[in-house]
Amino acid sequence: MLDLLVEIQDNKEIIKKCKKELKIDLGIHSMKKIKNEFEQEKEKYKSIDTKLKENKIEIENVENKLNIIKQEITSEEDKLYRNLKYDLKLINSLEKSIELKVSKMKELEEKNLKLLYEEEELLQQKGCSGKRLITLKADFHKNKKTSSEKIIKIKQNIEKAQQNILDIEKRIPKELLDKFNQLSSIKGTGAARLSEGVCLGCKMKVSAMTIDNVKNHRGIVYCDNCGRIISCNKIS
């Protein structure tokens, strides 16, 4: 009969542990961390995207300017080569203007090249950031799934232990169960095994008379020191 009482206590201990587990972490901490990282990466992604758009506008701008300047150069060259009236003043001023424009054109072409390189770099960064976002999102959902699976498992364990207790209680005489519950509510546990004359509830040696009572199966026997039930054979 004592085994049944101890079994109730073991099941109560399982419930206590499970409830404690339900209160702690369960992956919530790492989920928060992933979520923070995701938000940060999202900001980074947005900022790269903004830079890309700005870059694109600048490229268009430079290309427009380049087209205009190329047309101007062509038209001035036309003037220079087709209308040769040996007007030295005009020739000089056209040559100077073309020279300036060619140099400006080269400058714009360099700028355009630089912007194109930047665009390539930004596109690469955007790709990496996008991949990272997908990974983080997948990690988050995986964590969430694991966490809810854990919670379900713990709740199942609690239910199982509660059912075990109910089943065992049905097999224990009411008087003994009441006494046990009363002791349990005071001490936390109401029953303890005896090992070589020592009560495992309080780790103290019990008296020879008590041991004698246990050996002779004399009703409910209590520990001399802590009062826990240490034997309860032949009780009906």
Q: How far is the CB of 224 from Zn ion (least distance, A)?
A: 7
**Shorter beta-carbon distance to Zn ion: residue 61 or 225:** 225
User: Which one, 11 or 189, has the nearer CB to Zn ion?
Assistant: 189
For residues 32 and 203, which CB has a smaller minimum distance to Zn ion in the complex? 203
Judged by the rule CB under 5 A, the positions of this chain that interact with Zn ion are 199, 201-202, 223, 225-226
Question: Min. distance of Cβ 182 from Zn ion in angstroms?
Answer: 16
The bridge status of strand 221-222 relative to strand 229-231 is antiparallel
Least CB distance from residue 218 to Zn ion, whole Å? 17
Nearer to Zn ion, 168 or 226 (CB): 226
Considering the complex, what minimum distance in angstroms separates the CB of residue 135 from Zn ion?
57
Q: Are 205 and 198 in contact (CB under 8 A)?
A: yes
* Cβ distance to Zn ion smaller for residue 137 or 193: 193
Min dist CB 227 to Zn ion, Å, is 7
Closest approach, Cβ 10 to Zn ion, in A, equals 18
CB 16 within 8 A of CB 158: no
Q: 13 — alpha (psi -120 to 50), left (phi > 0) or beta?
A: alpha
Task: Using the minimum distance from each CB to Zn ion, give the nearer residue, 154 or 226.
Answer: 226
Beta bridge partners of 191: 229
> How far apart are the C-alpha atoms of 65 and 108, rounded to whole Å?
8
To Zn ion, the closest distance from the beta carbon of 197 in angstroms equals 11
Nearer to Zn ion, 11 or 228 (CB): 228
